[in-house]
Amino acid sequence: MAITRPLLAGGVAAGVLMPVLIWVDGASQLGTGEGAWLQVLNFVAGGLLLMTFAAGLRQALRHGRGSTWGPILVAAAGAALIAAGLVPTDPALGYPPGQPAVVTVAGRVHGLVGLVLFAGLSAAAFVLARAGIGDPRTGTSRGWATYSRVSGALVIGFAFAAGIAYRLDVQDVWRPAPAGLLEHTALLAGFSWIIALAVRLLRKPAS
């Protein structure tokens, strides 16, 4: 546990860093404009911390349900987060102000890795709901399973809603649509679950 605990702490750090900096920025199309460097740094640092957490998760679980696929899915989400930071999104929805909306290969790649990020977080929550991670005080895992499944559903649900809102905004059907808010909420649900998982494992007595 001497090595595992600092790795698990990376989950808490990622879970706090990502939502805080995103909500502070507050705009959609976060990788564009003069402040793009802040979100690039946020995504890359958050992705590295998430992959660190995945390594700690693998060591902490070791055996049983979710011990293989749980860490793999979390690591995939971390890698997608890094890629989303390094590959810029396209100007759209009025961001950054004064730049016309365009569609580029980089923008399409950014959208694809964003899908991997949300799918990875959601799938990890569903997989680890079955891992039998009990409460450190009571040992029961039913509440954790329910919370994980609800979190997984919220992540993917809000992500899809954000995609639909984006399309409606681009097509002038609903403007302004809350695509950015919905996407941020999906990330908040996912990273809140990451924090809860990390804290739960950190509080578990060392075997």
User: Does the pLDDT of residue 129 top 70, yes or no?
Assistant: yes
Q: How far is CA 56 from the centre of its chain?
A: 17
**Mean pLDDT across 174-189:** 90
Report how far residue 124's alpha carbon sits from residue 194's, in angstroms, rounded to the nearest whole number. 10
Does the pLDDT value for residue 190 go beyond 70?
yes
Q: pLDDT per residue over 30-86, tens digit each?
A: 555 566 778 888 899 999 999 999 999 999 998 877 899 999 999 999 999 999 989
Place of tokens 């890094």: 82
| Per-residue pLDDT at 148 | 96
Mean pLDDT computed over every residue of the chain? 86
Q: What is the sign of the dihedral through the CA atoms of 37, 39, 40 and 46?
A: positive
The pLDDT, as a whole number, for residue 78 is: 97
The Cα 167–Cα 43 span in angstroms is 24
**Would you list the domain boundaries of the chain?**
4-202
Query: Cis omega before residue 176 (within 30°)?
Result: yes
User: Which pLDDT score is estimated for 144?
Assistant: 92
Q: What is residue 89's predicted lDDT score, i.e. its pLDDT?
A: 82
Cα 7 to chain centroid distance, Å, stands at 17
- Find all residues with CB under 8 Å of 106, minimum gap 6, and list them: 87, 88, 89, 90
pLDDT value of residue 205: 66
Mean pLDDT across 145-150: 95
Task: Please give the Cα distance from 126 to 84 (Å, whole number).
Answer: 23
Kindly tell me if the per-residue pLDDT of 99 is higher than 80: no
Per residue, the 3-state secondary structure of the chain, as one string, reads: CCCHHHHHHHHHHHHHHHHHHHHHHCCCCCCCCCCHHHHHHHHHHHHHHHHHHHHHHHHHHCCCCCCCHHHHHHHHHHHHHHHHHHCCCCCECCECCCCCCCCCHHHHHHHHHHHHHHHHHHHHHHHHHCCCCCCCCCCCCHHHHHHHHHHHHHHHHHHHHHHHHHHHHHCCCCCCCCHHHHHHHHHHHHHHHHHHHHHHHHCCCCC
User: Whole-structure pTM over 0.75, yes or no?
Assistant: yes
